[in-house]
Chains A and B, each alone.
Chain A
Amino acid sequence: MLATAVLIAMVMVILALVLNIWRVIIGPDVTDRILALDTLYINSIALLVLLGIHMASAHYFEAALLIAMMGFIGTSALCKYLLRGDIIE
């Protein structure tokens, strides 16, 4: 039962990923693209966790953890750039 649910969830997350990429490409504004990239990070976390459940392995979890932290920092740096043009001031 769980296995089927995980598979269905994975398909949906992958669809979401594809749509995120589409949004990064078409924009139209830079803010849209940053938001899309951030969502891409979140969806990859979801995908990795689902894969971990699917394969019953803990290694995926750590990659997901690191994406969560690094993705956040990347997004905040991009936003800071939009605000000030200079991220360390």
Chain B
Amino acid sequence: MTLLLIILIPLLGTLLAPAAAVRGRMGAAVMAGALTATALALLFTLAPRVFGGETIVVSWAWMADLGLYFSLRLDGLGLLFALLILGIGLLVILYAAYYLSPKDSMPKFFSYMMLFMGAMLGVVLSENLILLLMFWELTSLSSFLLVSYWRHRADARQGARMALAVTGGGGLCLLAGILLLGEIVGSYELSVVLVSAELIQSHDLYTPALILILLGAFTKSAQFPFHFWLPHAMAAPTPVSAYLHSATMVKAGVFLLARLHPALAGSDLWFYLVTGAGLTTLVFAAYVALFKHDLKGLLAYSTISHLGLITLLFGFGTPLAAVAGVFHIINHATFKASLFMAAGIIDHEAGTRDMRRLNGLFKYMPYTALLAMVAAASMAGVPLLNGFLSKEMFFVETLHLQRFGDWAWLIPVLATVAGIFAVGYSLRFIHDVFFNGEPKDLPQIPHEPPRWMKVPVEILVVLCLLVGMLPAFTVGPLLATAAGGVLQAPLPEYSLAIWHGFNTALMMSIIALIGGGLFYLLRHKLFDLHGRLLPNEFGAKQIFDILVKAVVDLSRAITRLLENGSLQRYMALLVGSAIVVGVYAALQHGAMSFDMSASSMPVNAVSVTASIALIVAALATVLFHRHRLPTLLMLGVVGLFVSLAFVYFSAPDLALTQLSVEVVTIILLLLALHFLPQESQPESSSARRLRDALLAGTAGLGIAALTWAILTAPFETLSGYYLEQSVPGGGGKNVVNVILVDFRGFDTFGEITVLAIAAIGIHALLYNLFVNPNPAGPHGWATSRPPLLLSVICRPLLPLALLVALYLMLRGHNAPGGGFIAGLVAGVALVMQYLASGLDWTNARMKIDYFKVIAAGLAIALATGVASWFFAHPFMTTTFTHVHWPVVGEFEVASAMVFDLGVFLTVVGITMLILAELGKLSGAVKQGGGR
């Protein structure tokens, strides 16, 4: 439970931080800090158990059938990451409170920040892989919001979009990989997955699953060739870079490598893919970092390079390498976060991040300079600092690797080269910024930042020193626990001492330090050489832009092809493809049988006449279609005969619904006709009309054939089940209604929700719309007073009609009727008042907010569904009982009837909203004059 709170408290902060901002500018920061501290304290209460070797797992079933559990896990690895996320998070919050300028919105920043923190905690504390993926995606989304925080800047928006595209795409791959993994193991729980290494690695699906999962990890951790998004994401405010792009989010990828290490690592494929990506990234990014003039650009490429180092270590697949990887995760998080914060301070105080202009800042901010120098020295791997220790372990590991055979010397050499580059760019960071002459035309005179802005940097730098000098006492237990969490096995022998004797690894460090120094001294020549050989930036962004443009162009072309604004074309495509699919299905599965011998209803004069009438009316509708009002009349005839057919074939519910819908349609179309031309001119060529006629004719014949085939073929339907279960299962004799409100109640709920959304959409479309109505015909319009006779008749009709509606609804469960029909009847009766007495008169007497009616209807329907939870039944379980009232007699009361009331209210609200809104449209035109 505590574990759940650790994730929920920051997520809650997403809402609480902006809420606290009403109490002044710092409110949001204080609230965010307090919540983070609370979560951290909760984590500390659990920490002793984890240090004792326990793995804490809590689980709640979510969708157990699909293998989805809301299950959380806290082991050494999770503890380490949670500590980093909350600890550095707390420092970053303090830093950001002083970093953000008065123009920046504090509530927005801290709200996004807490969202990200909660999501990241979710990633590292998930036990279920699918749950992990959901939090993973949430980190991508929240990082998008954070990177684009300064949304007035084009580079921030583009950087955020690129980061989302790359990490989001990787997230999709990861989803596929996790699903494959779950398919192999049969469970998504880490406890099961981590002990199934043999099963996983011998399975046929191992290769695709591994590749997909690695794609997810590499995109998130900015491994080559997906590294390019990280430098562009540096357009984010510096606290975001310090938090997301050095300490937490980019570590999610290596976290995943560490997390799945016991299950996936060890195979050749793992080795070559992960070390390959890691090694390339390590060397390449360290090289690029040398030539960055932007402080944050240098740090970004340095981060990519260090992530490559960690990836490389996990790629080795040996227990010792994994320990080194975990150690470097800790060290990198501390020194890189402090460096980002120092860069932010410099940017904040000096007004630029360009190292060609920033020189000699030591004079202006000696204290900050000292802190930054210690952190940079740690990044370079100088002895007595934490960066040195993990780098030594890394060098040792590269030497012990036998897997490359004759090429085994390559890895230590490349590692040393990367070490030289790292020393080079670290030196440049120190020397160019703090020494090297005087600053060049800075926008402002730099000075030391506010006291509290330095505190986070101080804490992190002190940690660098402590870990660097007394590793066994400070970080030892945490490292052992975390490494145990990665390996899920006993730890190998390793020593955290500073001095291991004069060995090859130390030689490599010394070479790196000296080489880096030389490199820096020769930098001007190297810059020239680099500029001549590679005049442009490496083209990853260009390739990305070309790819994005290609995708956008392709989708635009498809859109233009399908959606060109011609309704005729949409209809032709829709009907045409239906014909193609139908014909294909008929050919594929054999010709349809038209068995005439099956028993059919007897034919009599009434049905023959009615059928002919229906056909004639339908044909006349088509023939009249250019004259709109007569067409509408013919449509009325068609509707009436369809309703009669429903009555005749014993479908009274359908008939009642059809009759109500018919009238609503007539009113709706009449309202629309007010704004439409009375006659329409032929616009299509005769060839096109022939094509359309062919399409329509074929589709009609196809439907007729299909209906015939279904009606004559012997088959079993579900009807029998419903007919039997209606009374014992749903407590109603009207099967149609029982299906609607009980057996398929969830569907109905979805349908009325969609209807409500459609009504609100129509409202939004018509709101403040001005359309010119039709001019009066040759005889002109009648005077504007509502016809007296009509209003006199309609007023008493209203209570009668409402009574009919009430009656239809109440008995709906047992006899034809129900909420839908009743809602239509009531809606029509209410609209009738507008029609007979005018808008003003009716509005003055009927002050109903139809949105509230719709909302009430949906709320009632939802409440009846939720209510069943309180009786420990699944959503929307219904119940019924028999009640005996005097006079009325015995009758059934079903909870589904309350649901039906919700349907009723929603339908009334929707009908009224749409019709009244259209009716008001003409009123608005009259008042608005000739607008």
B644 touches A73 (CB 8 A): no
User: Is A53 an interface position by the 8 A CB rule?
Assistant: no
Q: Which of B673, B797, B919 contacts A81, CB < 8 Å?
A: B673
B773 touches A86 (CB 8 A): yes
Q: Which of B647, B804, B923 contacts A48, CB < 8 Å?
A: B647
Q: Which of B630, B637, B828, B915 contacts A88, CB < 8 Å?
A: B915
Contact with B along A58-88 (1 / 0, CB 8 A): 0110110111011101101110110111111
User: Is B764 an interface position by the 8 A CB rule?
Assistant: no
User: Is B338 an interface position by the 8 A CB rule?
Assistant: no
Known: A11-B605, A18-B609. A88 touches B834 (CB 8 A): yes
A47 touches B644 (CB 8 A): yes
Interface residues in B641-692 (C-beta closer than 8 Å to A)? 643-644, 647-648, 652, 655-656, 659-660, 662-663, 666-667, 670-671, 673-674
Residue of B nearest to A83 (CB): B782
Interface residues in A39-54 (C-beta closer than 8 Å to B)? 40-41, 44, 47-48, 51
- Tell me, in angstroms, the Cα distance from A59 to B646 when the chains sit together: 12
User: Is A25 an interface position by the 8 A CB rule?
Assistant: yes
A85 touches B828 (CB 8 A): no
User: Is B101 an interface position by the 8 A CB rule?
Assistant: no
User: Is B838 an interface position by the 8 A CB rule?
Assistant: yes
A51 CB to closest chain B CB (Å) equals 8
Contacts of A77 in B (CB 8 A): 663, 666-667, 670, 835
A70 touches B659 (CB 8 A): yes
Central interface residue in B652, B797, B915, B918, by most chain A CB within 10 Å: B652
B652 touches A59 (CB 8 A): yes
A75 CB to closest chain B CB (Å) equals 9
Residue of A nearest to B775 (CB): A85
A89 touches B839 (CB 8 A): yes
Q: Which of B605, B634, B825, B835 contacts A14, CB < 8 Å?
A: B605
Contacts of B656 in A (CB 8 A): 62-63, 66
B922 touches A41 (CB 8 A): no
- Tell me, in angstroms, the Cα distance from A86 to B923 when the chains sit together: 9
Contacts of B597 in A (CB 8 A): none
Residue of A nearest to B817 (CB): A62
Contacts of B836 in A (CB 8 A): 76
Known: A14-B606, A84-B781. A70 touches B662 (CB 8 A): yes
Residue of A nearest to B650 (CB): A59
- Tell me, in angstroms, the Cα distance from A78 to B773 when the chains sit together: 17
A27 touches B605 (CB 8 A): no
Residue of B nearest to A20 (CB): B637
Contacts of B674 in A (CB 8 A): 81, 85-87
Q: Which of A10, A78, A85 contacts B774, CB < 8 Å?
A: A85
A78 touches B633 (CB 8 A): yes
Q: Which of A30, A33, A37, A76 contacts B835, CB < 8 Å?
A: A76
Residue of A nearest to B630 (CB): A33
B606 touches A10 (CB 8 A): yes
B773 touches A85 (CB 8 A): yes
- Tell me, in angstroms, the Cα distance from A33 to B617 when the chains sit together: 13
Contacts of B834 in A (CB 8 A): 88
A88 touches B835 (CB 8 A): yes
Interface residues in B897-930 (C-beta closer than 8 Å to A)? 915-916, 918-920, 922-923, 926
User: Is B790 an interface position by the 8 A CB rule?
Assistant: yes
Contacts of A87 in B (CB 8 A): 667, 670-671, 674, 835, 919
B790 touches A80 (CB 8 A): yes
B782 touches A84 (CB 8 A): yes
Chain A contact residue count (CB 8 A cutoff): 43
User: Is B446 an interface position by the 8 A CB rule?
Assistant: no
Contact with B along A1-25 (1 / 0, CB 8 A): 0000000001100100110010011
User: Is B776 an interface position by the 8 A CB rule?
Assistant: yes
Central interface residue in A34, A40, A86, by most chain B CB within 10 Å: A86
Interface residues in B468-515 (C-beta closer than 8 Å to A)? none
B633 touches A83 (CB 8 A): no
Residue of A nearest to B657 (CB): A66
Contacts of A62 in B (CB 8 A): 652, 656, 816
Known: A24-B634, A30-B629. A14 touches B609 (CB 8 A): yes
A4 CB to closest chain B CB (Å) equals 15
Q: Which of B609, B637, B647, B781 contacts A37, CB < 8 Å?
A: B637
- Tell me, in angstroms, the Cα distance from A20 to B235 when the chains sit together: 75
Chain B contact residue count (CB 8 A cutoff): 64
B660 touches A24 (CB 8 A): no
Q: Which of A14, A63, A80 contacts B659, CB < 8 Å?
A: A63
B636 touches A30 (CB 8 A): no
User: Is B462 an interface position by the 8 A CB rule?
Assistant: no
Central interface residue in B606, B609, B634, by most chain A CB within 10 Å: B606
Contacts of A40 in B (CB 8 A): 637, 640
Q: Which of A10, A69, A76, A84 contacts B801, CB < 8 Å?
A: A69
A89 touches B828 (CB 8 A): no
A76 touches B663 (CB 8 A): no
Contacts of A37 in B (CB 8 A): 633, 636-637
User: Is B787 an interface position by the 8 A CB rule?
Assistant: yes
User: Is B326 an interface position by the 8 A CB rule?
Assistant: no
A66 touches B660 (CB 8 A): yes
Contacts of A47 in B (CB 8 A): 644
Contact with A along B124-165 (1 / 0, CB 8 A): 000000000000000000000000000000000000000000
Q: Which of B634, B640, B787, B922 contacts A80, CB < 8 Å?
A: B787
A74 touches B663 (CB 8 A): yes
User: Is B620 an interface position by the 8 A CB rule?
Assistant: yes
Contacts of A66 in B (CB 8 A): 656, 659-660, 804, 825
A67 CB to closest chain B CB (Å) equals 6
Q: Which of A30, A51, A63, A81 contacts B652, CB < 8 Å?
A: A63
Residue of A nearest to B661 (CB): A70
- Tell me, in angstroms, the Cα distance from A24 to B629 when the chains sit together: 12
Contacts of A76 in B (CB 8 A): 790, 794, 832, 835-836
- Tell me, in angstroms, the Cα distance from A59 to B653 when the chains sit together: 10
B569 CB to closest chain A CB (Å) equals 32
Central interface residue in B609, B616, B633, B915, by most chain A CB within 10 Å: B633
A88 CB to closest chain B CB (Å) equals 3
Known: A63-B643, A77-B835. A21 touches B659 (CB 8 A): no
Interface residues in B225-249 (C-beta closer than 8 Å to A)? none
Known: A10-B606, A74-B663, A85-B674. A24 touches B916 (CB 8 A): no
User: Is B583 an interface position by the 8 A CB rule?
Assistant: no
Contact with A along B779-800 (1 / 0, CB 8 A): 0011010010010001001000
User: Is B613 an interface position by the 8 A CB rule?
Assistant: yes
A44 touches B640 (CB 8 A): yes
Q: Which of A17, A30, A81, A83 contacts B630, CB < 8 Å?
A: A30
B609 touches A70 (CB 8 A): no
Residue of A nearest to B616 (CB): A21
B640 touches A59 (CB 8 A): no
Central interface residue in A63, A70, A80, by most chain B CB within 10 Å: A70
Contacts of B673 in A (CB 8 A): 81
- Tell me, in angstroms, the Cα distance from A53 to B327 when the chains sit together: 91
B633 touches A24 (CB 8 A): yes
A78 touches B670 (CB 8 A): yes
B782 touches A27 (CB 8 A): no
B773 touches A88 (CB 8 A): no
- Tell me, in angstroms, the Cα distance from A73 to B825 when the chains sit together: 11
Contacts of A14 in B (CB 8 A): 605-606, 609-610
3 smallest A-B Cβ distances: which pairs? A88-B919, A83-B782, A70-B663
Other than the given A14-B609, A88-B920, 7 more pairs (CB < 8 A) read A48-B644, A51-B606, A70-B663, A74-B636, A87-B674, A88-B915, A89-B923
Can you give 21 contacting A-B residue pairs, CB < 8 Å? A14-B609, A25-B616, A30-B629, A33-B630, A62-B652, A62-B656, A70-B828, A76-B790, A76-B835, A77-B666, A78-B632, A80-B835, A81-B673, A81-B674, A83-B781, A83-B782, A83-B787, A84-B784, A86-B922, A88-B671, A88-B839
A interface, CB within 8 angstroms of B: 10-11, 14, 17-18, 21, 24-25, 27, 30, 33-34, 37, 40-41, 44, 47-48, 51, 59-60, 62-63, 65-67, 69-71, 73-74, 76-78, 80-81, 83-89
